Each structure stands twice: as C-alpha cells, then as structure tokens.
Amino acid sequence: MIEVQDLTKRYGSTVAVDRLSFTVPPGVVTGFLGPNGAGKSTTMRIILGLDRPTSGRALIDGRPYASLKGPLHHVGALLDAKDVHPGRTAKAHLTALALSNGIPTRRVGEVLDLTGLSAVAKKRIRGFSLGMSQRLGIAATMLGDPDVLMFDEPVNGLDPEGIVWIRTFMRAMAAEGRTVLVSSHLMSEMALTADHLIVIGRGRLLADVATRAFIEASSGNSVRVRSPQRDQLESLLRGKGLATTDVDGYLQVQGVTPAQVGDLAAANRLTVHELFVQNASLEAAFMEMTSASVEYHADTADIPHTTTTQGAPR
C-alpha cells in the first residue's frame, strides 16, 4: 500500500505538488492520471525518497521509503528506463542492484527470462532500443519480488506489442495482490489498464475514483442503436422528447437507458440489430475535469469527442 499524506513540493515559487493526499491499495491497478506537468513524476520521486517534499509525507506499507530494509524487496519502481549506465551490460546492471539489497544473484537470470531479455543479458545497455530498456527497467522492478510496483509513463515510446506487454504485465501483477501505481497522461491507456484512478492537475487531487465511475459520471454517455427501420425508430424517440443524432450509421440517443430504447422498439414491433451504451471516452471525462487546471490551455473547441455530438431536431 502506498499512502501520500498532505504532500507539497515547491521549486522556488512554483508549486509542483499541492497538498496531495491519496492511498493506493493492493490488488488493483491504480492509474495516476494528469496532464504533463501535473506533478505525477515529482510525486513518484518523493514516494521513492529521491526528492524531499516541502511538507507532508509518503509512506510505503506505513513506513518512509528510506527506512525500508532492502527496499527492492518491498518496492519496484520504473521511473525512466534510461536511468541506467549505458556502458554496463543488462546483467551487470541488475547484478549490482541485487547485491546491494542482498538478493541472490540467481534472481538476475530469472528476471531476465521473465522480461525476455536473456539473449541480450551480456550486451551493453547503450545498444538497447527503448522497448528493451523498458523491459530491463521492469526486470529491475521484479528483482526483489516486491509487493509494491510503480511505473512512470511506462508505455511512452513503445510499439503496440510493447504496450500490450506492459499492460498485461501490470494487470497480472495486480491480480497477484500487489499494489500497482502507474502514471500516464494517456487517458485511453488508463481506460484499458487501470481499475482505479487518481487524477491530478497542477499538483492537486482532482479525483480519486473507480475508472468505470469516472467515465459514467461524465455527461456524455449515450445509447446507440442500429435498426433497419431507422426512421420509424427515430420518430418514436423524438416523440418521447429525446434528442437523436446520426453517428457512424447508428442512431445515438441521449438521456435514456438501453432498456428503454429496446422496450420502445419491441412495443412498436421494430427490429433492432445493435443496442449498446456508448461511454464518453476517458479523454472527454478527463478534459471536463481538468479544464480548469491544465497548465497551458489549448484551443479545445475543435477537438472531437463524443460529448459534443448533440443533434439538432429537424
């Protein structure tokens, strides 16, 4: 378990983290979400004792990081895959980490196997691709078989295969009962990976919610229906005072449940081929929430997302 308590970090007059408090429980993947510059990396560095907080504290299983005995046995963290000496081999890098924490060096071979790096174990890290470096970073996190895992933007720069690999890995680790905290500014990635979200903006906590609830709570959820008798169905829906839109060959309806749409169709003997809830994207929910707190406002008016497809009645 990771506990962040009233954490503040100032760099001169800039407040990177602002009275941030949250808890990361074991057994689920917790997404740490926020725009670039929101304070995610700073918070993670403080949790790991790399940076000193201005005030407040962060605890791992109730203790400050620096007081953990053999910290790699408790926490595995991947902040930046390039935080290694490029002149060392993968094996040498991991061996040094293992030695420092009293981890048997046979474990080095195990984590190299685990991450599929055995073939390049004796190659210098200088020649590694970003994907290989990420795997090496993950191998390092697993050396001590820790209960707590932290990843900072782990999918950045990865190819699709690497992204799926890391996503699956994190979910597997959480399923084993470990605490998994993963930061990202990619909302779509979090939707696929995280069960729970800690959302921050400008160093402040914006939300601490289940991913599903986060999306459902946003205003853009709608029902989509496809029917061969589209026009008749549309008339019926409009007759009920519902706004409808054409989206990709579907009739999209706001403010209604799929059950209501299905019942309405059945009562009027209309055929329905598809009927489902179209959730607002996590991006949309996120934009809605952080619009007040993004570091630099872009012109978002022309960014398409599902919440803006409001239909005008004819």
Partner 1 sequence: MSSTVPGSVPPSRAAGSVTGHVPTQAGPGTGRRVTLVPPATDRFDRVARAEWSKLWSVRSTGWSLLALVVVTTGIAALACWGTMTGIEQSPEEVPPFDTVNLTLAGLSLGQLAAAVLGAMVISTEYSTGAIRSTLTATPQRLRLLSAKALVFIVVALVVGLVTCILSFVVGQAFLSERYRVDFGDPGVSRALLGGALYVAGSGMFGFAFGALLRQTAGAITAAVAFLLVLPPLSQLLPGSWGDTVTEHFTSNAGQAITFSQSVPNGAVGLSPWAGYAWFTAEWLLILAVAAVLMVRRDA
Confirm or reject binding of residue 266 to partner 1 (CB under 8 A). Answer: no
**Phi, psi dihedral angles at 19 (to 5 degrees):** 45, 50
Between 48 and 67, how does the x/- string for binding to partner 1 read (CB under 8 A)? xxxxx------------xx-
| Residue from 247, 270, 272, 275 in contact with partner 1 (CB under 8 A) | 247
243 binds partner 1 (CB under 8 A): no
H helices of 207-281, where? 211-217, 230-239, 258-267
Contact between 10 and partner 1 per CB under 8 A:
no
Q: Considering only residues 117-176, where is the footprint of partner 1 by CB under 8 A?
A: 140, 142, 144-145, 165, 168-169, 171-176
Strand 14-24 relative to strand 29-33, pairing: unpaired
Please select the residue that binds partner 1; options are 24, 79, 132, 205, rule is CB under 8 A: 79
Residue 113 beta carbon to partner 1: minimum distance, rounded to whole angstroms: 5
Minimum separation from the CB atom of position 268 to partner 1 (A) = 26
**Residue in 24, 68, 207, 261 binding partner 1, rule: CB under 8 A:** 68
Does 258 bind partner 1 (CB under 8 A)? Our answer is no
In order, the DSSP letters of 43-103 are HHHHHTTSS--SEEEEEETTB-GGGSSSGGGTEEEES-TT-S-TTSBHHHHHHHHHHHTT-
Q: Which residue has the tokens 């599929």?
A: 116
Please say which residue, 213 or 266, places its beta carbon nearer to partner 1.
Answer: 213
